[in-house]
Amino acid sequence: MDIRNLTIKEAHEMLVNKKMSVLELAEEVLKVAESTKDLNAYLEIFSDVRTQAEVAQKIIDSGKATRLTGIPFAMKDNILIKGRIASASSKMLENYRATYDAHVTKKLRDAGVVFIGRTNMDEFAMGGSTENSAFGATKNPHDKTRVPGGSSGGSATALSAGACLGALGTDTGGSIRQPASFCGVIGLKPTYGSVSRSGLIAMASSLDQAGPFAKTVEDAEIIFDCIKGHDPMDSTSYPADFAHPKFKSPKVIGVPTEFVHAEGVDERVLKNFEESIEQMKKAGYEVKEISLPALAHGLSVYYILMPAEVSSNLARFDGVRYGYHVDGANLLEDYIRSRGEGFGREVRRRILLGTYVLSSGYYDAYYGRACAVREMLKKDLEKAFEDVDIIATPTTPTPAFKIGEKSSDPLQMYLADIFTVPVNIAGVPAISIPSGFVEEDGAKLPLGIQFIAPHFGESALFSVGKDFEKAIGYNI
């Protein structure tokens, strides 16, 4: 058995049929985690994995196993697990211990998963390469000279390397889908409001959403089914009695051709995307060209709204109640020095940018306008979904780039999010699925295709995703 090819579904069957114990499975995963330590995917491997495995084994032995009981899981370091450190890869929270479980943590815990460790990320989820971690960059398992994407790069790497069977990340502008694409795994950004944000370390609250990394669409669905649902602790989570529209199985795929051919999109990415779309035609899907000019404004809307929310969310880190503290001559100096030293460079940059766009002289020009364009983008998408069931784009404009290649040019780094950001702006769900490879410098670099559905259309994503896996003969 190669653990790297083992899906959650297969592992579940082996566990309940007693072909393998939870401990044996966990030991296999820990072995891989140890042998791939140089990737820097995990910030910490928990010391109580074996105890957790025993608890899960008891649940299985009592016949009460869920599909996730005993499954080794990795958690991004901005998701609280009670009693454990949650640093968001920041010096600011290096020693912070969570005082409660995130809603998603509790759901997974109740399902009996085994938490293997917490994974590296861009500091406070700000970045697209995991280079912005205060604890060193994570490396792409397909080519160690390249980034795994970000911000959930540690979770994507751990799963791709076989150091867990499922993982959670968070996605504010592409932070699940982009690393999933770079690492050759599946990543789902659920509908805003379908998964509770309670217990996630907030970055931009109107955009943040937690979601799964998995090796197959079916595994992603299993994890999503576990973590979704209403939570009174998150006022933006949809109540359980919310009338979820029932989606018929999708048949028509819309391709925003003009948007996909934006400046800076790699020719090989476009070729792979076109081949993928051809495969979907062969699989019986109708493909329609659509025009969505508003999508092109997604990135500029994002880089106004996101830093605005960042500057206000991160105001809580004051060196007084918790987190990094530097003693100054007075309280004001405590604040200034604690925040100056506790936050990394990209975080400082975004806080200043947010402070600027929210300042009284520029509020209308930037924040106000960005909110208006956001509404426009939402309406344009809604209109597009009257004609098509699913919208498809590449997940990223290029395959994984080299470590250090974009780290000194923030705007270039931001442009890597061009296809993923509009999805968060509109709050709709999207999934990234491996669609092939490109060869570069002797390494095979994964590419991904992104499918976007209307609000609460996750079931449509799973349906089209499974068809896509079949159409391209996807093997893990």
Active site residue 76: yes
**CB of 10 or CB of 258, closer to another protein:** 258
**CB of 286 or CB of 333, closer to another protein:** 333
Sign of the CA dihedral with 466 first, then 470, 474, and 476 last? positive
**CB of 335 or CB of 437, closer to another protein:** 335
| Shortest Cβ 203–another protein spacing (Å) | 16
Q: What is the Cα–Cα distance from 208 to 152, expressed in whole angstroms?
A: 12
| Shortest Cβ 264–another protein spacing (Å) | 13
| Shortest Cβ 425–another protein spacing (Å) | 11
Phi, psi angles (nearest 5°) of residue 335: -60, -55
Sign of the CA dihedral with 336 first, then 340, 342, and 343 last? positive
Q: What is the Cα–Cα distance from 79 to 81, expressed in whole angstroms?
A: 7
Active site residue 144: no
The answer for 444, left when phi > 0, alpha when psi is -120 to 50, beta otherwise, is beta
Q: What is the Cα–Cα distance from 218 to 68, expressed in whole angstroms?
A: 13
| Shortest Cβ 101–another protein spacing (Å) | 12
**CB of 42 or CB of 302, closer to another protein:** 302
Q: Which of 76, 139, 228, 406 is catalytic?
A: 76
**CB of 332 or CB of 473, closer to another protein:** 332
Q: State the CB neighbour count (10 A cutoff) for residue 93.
A: 24
Residues that bind another protein (CB under 8 A): 96-97, 99-100, 232, 235-236, 294, 297, 299-301, 303-304, 311, 318-323, 325, 330-332, 334-337, 339-341, 343, 345, 348-349, 351-353, 355-356, 359, 365-366, 368-373, 375-376, 410-411, 414
Q: Which of 87, 89, 160, 175 is catalytic?
A: 175
Assigned token pair, 202? 């907030």
Q: Which of 151, 198, 432, 463 is catalytic?
A: 151
Active site residue 175: yes
| Shortest Cβ 426–another protein spacing (Å) | 12
| Shortest Cβ 195–another protein spacing (Å) | 16
Helices 345-358 and 298-313 meet at what angle, rounded to 10? 100
Phi, psi angles (nearest 5°) of residue 370: -60, -40
| Shortest Cβ 196–another protein spacing (Å) | 13
One-letter amino acid at 289 equals E
| Shortest Cβ 191–another protein spacing (Å) | 16
CA distances from 206 to 203, 237, 422, 427, 456 (A): 9, 11, 13, 8, 16
Strand 166-170 with 210-214, pairing = antiparallel
Catalytic residues: 76, 151, 175
